[in-house]
Homo-oligomer: A and B are copies of this chain.
Amino acid sequence: MSWTLEVRGLRGASWIHGGSGVMDMLLERGARLSAHGRRAFVVTDANVARLWGRHILEKLGVCSGGERMRAVAAGELSKSVAEVEECWDWLTQVGARRDDVLVGLGGGVVGDLAGFVAATYLRGMELWQVPTSLLAQVDSSVGGKNGVNLAAGKNLAGTFYQPDVVLADPLLLDTLPNLEFRNGLGEVVKYGLLEGDDLFFLLESRAEAIRGREPAVMAEIVEWCVGYKARVVEADEMDRGERATLNLGHTTGHALERALGFGVMGHGFAVALGLLVALAASEEVLGTDPSLRRRTRALLEALGLLVSLPLPPLDGLLSAMSKDKKATGKGLGFVGIQALGRPVRDLDLTTPVLERALRVIGS
């Protein structure tokens, strides 16, 4: 079962294809490129290169990977300005032109790096994303945000640049380490809360199958998440309003990542905890039914995610929230949720409300 979604962006359409075997679309696309004298260049990381590198190059019709694939070190440190420069230099050395294609093959880090490089090399090349992690398939490969970390924080540099094509193939998830798979489920539960009954019930009722990575249920879940995100991105590509709802759980999530030191806790795990904080705060200021937080907590546990942790000092978390990229002159950009499927943007929360909400995830 495969599916196709179109995201109509300002720069043109993104085509998103999902389902087992959609990787094979690279065969025809690679051949079409060659027929026009164009070439595809692949950015990936060392782990993914080992597992899938040769496979993908073969599909693209490339024999010698040497100059057509660049494998960066796996991990967040590769989202650096230094690595961006190395990629630019690589592309100039191999003579990449503005009508060539950059393929991002990997998880969120590779997708962000490849997206930024494609957006900025010669003012923009065509970009294809082949996400290999669950987090990238359900979230980061769609929507066109890319980013590079600076000394002062994560993703402080970046652009909006829609991929031309996204191929989300569940076969690629087979090789994902268990921790990394569960990490992706944090964003999946976020989409369950945003989308509403249909996806949330699916997650509750199929939690076991999901943890077993059954391809049919995974393809269905990815389609739900991407479908939701695509609609929001179409309505507000440049993140001036409605798109902010996608940050549900992220004000707290980012603050936790920052307070614990980036990389200590996976982004999806931090977002999952942030969802519980958002629900607790929403109970106070939006009158959200507390049963939704109980159900969400049970779902997170069923999916193998954290629902509490020894809390870092609250003043550190609050200060990290105020430094978040989302913060503006108007406030923190905190997203609440009134009921399943009903997010509320720009909640105005007092410090005492925030502190009480944070305490619900303290163990």
A: residues with CB less than 8 A from B are 10-11, 36-38, 81, 85, 88-89, 92-93, 97-99, 119-124, 145, 147, 150-153, 156-160, 238-239, 325, 327-330
Contact = CB atoms under 8 A, between A and B. Distances in A.
Q: What is the count of identical protomers in the complex? A: 2
Contacts of A145: 123
Given A81-B85, A119-B159, A123-B145, 7 more contacts: A10-B10, A11-B238, A88-B156, A88-B157, A97-B328, A99-B328, A123-B160
A325 B37 contact: no
A83 to B, nearest CB: 12
Contacts of A123: 145, 147, 158-160, 239
Secondary structure call for the A interface:
loop
Nearest to A325: B122
A58 to B, nearest CB: 23
A113 to B, nearest CB: 14
Contact of A93 (B10, B122, B152, B328): B152
Given A10-B11, A121-B157, A123-B159, A89 B151 contact: yes
A158 B329 contact: no
Contacts of A159: 119-120, 123-124, 159
A95 to B, nearest CB: 8
Nearest to A153: B92
Contacts of A120: 120, 157-159
A93 B151 CA distance: 10
A150 B90 CA distance: 11
27 contacts: A36-B329, A81-B81, A81-B85, A88-B156, A88-B157, A89-B151, A92-B150, A92-B152, A92-B156, A93-B152, A97-B328, A97-B329, A98-B328, A99-B329, A99-B330, A120-B120, A120-B157, A120-B158, A120-B159, A121-B157, A122-B158, A123-B145, A123-B147, A123-B158, A123-B160, A124-B159, A124-B160
